[in-house]
């Protein structure tokens, strides 16, 4: 549903009120944030943080109220050295019964490592783009699905929770447009493995709000038993706009990364993720609960910036919250 004024005309105040009322009615009261800075964020950084620094960052995230954290990925250390300490980090992240710690699992070997390390939630990953899947994982889509089916069987036997990720779901820097048919093929495959939580990833920030809304509406109608999440990159400054479009379509689960760090090392112009603190700021200003403390997120982001040694993409640590008041005497 939308509103398009006639050429040369302006919408009446009544029409604007109707459209805004419709948007508000269709917004959720709360959302779940999946924090991915420790994995998707750090994997694209030139600076490799120590395990102790990662554990401290994790404590900051938990202290700020985040309750779903993707902590690492069990990938080849030679390809992603920033995450080479996955097993060691598992021993040092703060124990908290109300926090979900997830690990990204690209293959069988990764599943075996994750199981030994005690992770009880696994994120599986395959790309809708054949080219990106090969560049990213060195497998065809069919090969990935076959192997992830075996991973899902191991998880089921071990009582591990699973969520599926679909990379390049909105576009691919190598292939361009990605059809919904390709995305649905992967959803069907995940559903066949018993997964009912699936996140669509805009790996290089190619999505736009209309595309996000229409995709979310179509897929939720076709797969009513699936809980869909969204993973947006802010490459072209559309990340938060895409979140709003997804929420209007009924999505309430979003990945975000402290400071807006992150990207795919195996895709050009991947850009950063949407920043957790910027997302929380937008949602809180709209009256949508995230269960997080924005001030503590901003403090954590500033500490992360110091650790990484460069300016981070997020806005809130630089400009402050909208209603942080200033002394007029400071204006010259």
Catalytic residues: 264
Q: Would you give the distance in Å from CA 204 to the centre of its chain?
A: 12
Q: Nearest CA to 90 among 67, 121, 66, 126?
A: 121
Enumerate the β-bridge partners of residue 102. 70, 121
What's the burial of 175, exposed, middle or buried (CB within 10 Å: 0-12/13-18/19+)? middle
3-state secondary structure of 47: coil
Residue 34 phi/psi, 5° resolution? -100, 110
Cβ-proximal residues to 54 (8 Å cutoff; 6+ apart), any chain: 38, 42, 85, 89, 92
What value, to the nearest 5°, has the Cα angle with vertex 176 and ends 175 and 182?
75
3-state secondary structure of 271: coil
What's the burial of 112, exposed, middle or buried (CB within 10 Å: 0-12/13-18/19+)? middle
Residue 167 in contact with residue 206, Cβ under 8 Å? no
Neighbours of 11 (CB within 10 A): 14
Cβ-proximal residues to 94 (8 Å cutoff; 6+ apart), any chain: 55, 58, 59, 62
């Amino acid at each position: 549903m939308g509103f398009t004024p006639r050429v040369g005309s302006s919408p009446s105040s009544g029409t604007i009120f109707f459209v805004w009322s419709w948007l508000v009615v269709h917004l959720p009261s709360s959302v779940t944030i999946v924090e991915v800075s420790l994995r998707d964020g750090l994997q694209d950084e030139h600076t490799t943080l120590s395990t102790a620094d990662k554990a401290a960052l994790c404590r900051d995230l938990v202290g700020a109220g985040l309750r779903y954290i993707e902590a690492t990925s069990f990938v080849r250390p030679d390809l992603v050295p920033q995450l080479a300490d996955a097993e060691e980090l598992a021993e040092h992240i703060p124990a908290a019964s109300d926090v979900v710690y997830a690990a990204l699992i690209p293959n069988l070997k990764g599943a075996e490592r994750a199981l030994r390390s005690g992770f009880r939630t696994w994120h599986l990953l395959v790309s809708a783009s054949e080219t990106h899947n090969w560049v990213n994982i060195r497998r065809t889509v069919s090969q990935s699905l076959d192997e992830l089916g075996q991973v899902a069987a191991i998880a089921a036997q071990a009582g591990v929770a699973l969520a599926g990720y679909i990379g390049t779901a909105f576009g691919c820097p190598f292939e361009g447009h990605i059809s919904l048919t390709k995305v649905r093929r992967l959803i069907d495959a995940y559903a066949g493995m018993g997964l009912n939580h699936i996140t669509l990833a805009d790996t290089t920030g190619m999505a736009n709000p209309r595309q996000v809304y229409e995709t979310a509406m179509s897929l939720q109608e076709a797969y009513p038993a699936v809980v869909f999440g969204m993973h947006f990159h802010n490459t072209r400054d559309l990340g938060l706009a895409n979140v709003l479009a997804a929420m209007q379509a009924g999505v309430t689960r979003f990945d975000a990364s402290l400071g807006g760090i992150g990207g795919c090392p195996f895709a050009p112009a991947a850009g950063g993720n949407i920043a957790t603190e910027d997302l929380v700021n937008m949602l809180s200003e709209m009256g949508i609960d995230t269960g997080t403390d924005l001030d503590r997120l901003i403090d954590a982001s500033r500490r992360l910036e110091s650790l990484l040694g460069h300016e981070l993409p997020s806005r809130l640590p630089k400009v402050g919250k909208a209603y942080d008041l200033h002394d007029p005497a400071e204006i010259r």
